[in-house]
Amino acid sequence: MDLTLSSKKADKTIVEVEGVGGYYTWSSSQFPVLSQKKVAGGLLVLQPRGFALPHYADSSKIGYVCEGECIAGLISPEDSKEEVIKIQKGDALPITVGTVSWWYNGGDTKLTIIFLGESSEDYTPGEFCYFFLTSAAGILNGFSNELIAKTFHMTETESEKLVKDQSGLNIIIKVNEGIQIPNGSTSAKRKFVYNLDGAKPCVEVKNGGHLSSVSSKNILLLGEIGLSANRVVLECGAVLGPIFTADSSIHLSYITKGSGRVVIVGLFGKVVLDTKVEEGDLFFVPKFFPFVVEADEGGIEFFSVKTSSKQVYGELSGGKKSVWEAASPSILEASLNMTPDLTKYFKSKIAKGAVIAPPSNV
């Protein structure tokens, strides 16, 4: 298995407008594992009044708000109804393939959203491909004035002006103060959004950290697109794992804050990655490969998307869900070549643990 798993920062700038914002990705040429395993990531940054123009993409993904707040519009091709949603730090929002969306920073601070998802149907494997409705790169530019005039029941003079007015627009712009962006709908937010930062953790360990997740149990749409997500916060010196994805899915993570160490073990116990990671890095975990994340002195936080609508992990650490805890004492004694007393001691330690372990000196 020839996989390059080293962590990477976004290396490709799709658009960047000074004082307005930008969109950045991880190129499959520099991070080939993305194209090999058909996953992708993108980072949207908008300054106040920054606006990402309406577009759709060739893949499904989950957006997570790392900082700031945003008003997003979603138009599904199935019902052609615009859902306007206000999202904030910690919110996770799924976007299905072909859904038209727009994004507006209506706050007073910088907005950052990380998008992670699958790319099995992408034109460029390992990278999201976008189709913009408007702007100089918009689809209207590809059709003649005559066709546009007939489509929109306009004169050719009117259609020519419509297309010409797009020619000076970038795909990210700053909205004039006189334009009123729609307000978000509370009912739409309940349907599409899950706040991972404020959710009750699935795992919480004193002096260690916590793990929160969102799956099809929380947002039905995730069942349709086959994705789920989690957020992990580790305090100084704490460790997550070892764990592995137990349902053939793969795991793509983005470091939102802090730094630490990631260790991934592959076939026959071979270490395939042992590296330092920090804010802005993306790292990939293949299916069934156990991995560990250890926080540095300042702690670490990361958001992950899993290519399954369920959160199914095999736990090789401590806790009630641990494989070690479930195994019979005689099986452990034989498999680990331990004495009965040592096996009993090992089982007692496992029972007291969890998938997150605090530093040993706490």
Neighbouring residues of 19: CB distance < 8 A, sequence distance ≥ 6: 47, 174
Mean pLDDT, range 188-196, rounded to an integer: 92
C-alpha span between 134 and 97 (Å, rounded): 19
CA 348, chain centre distance (Å): 37
C-alpha span between 41 and 62 (Å, rounded): 10
Amino acid 361: pLDDT: 65
pLDDT band for position 324 (50/70/90)? confident
Q: How many CB atoms lie within 10 A of CB 297?
A: 10
C-alpha span between 19 and 279 (Å, rounded): 22
Is the model's pTM score more than 0.85? yes
Tokens found for residue 261? 């160490």
Mean pLDDT, range 62-71, rounded to an integer: 96
C-alpha dist (Å) from residue 74 to 53, 86, 103, 112, 176: 12, 11, 9, 18, 22
Q: Is 348 helix (H, G, I), strand (E, B) or coil?
A: helix
Mean pLDDT, range 145-151, rounded to an integer: 87
pLDDT band for position 362 (50/70/90)? low
Mean pLDDT, range 187-212, rounded to an integer: 92
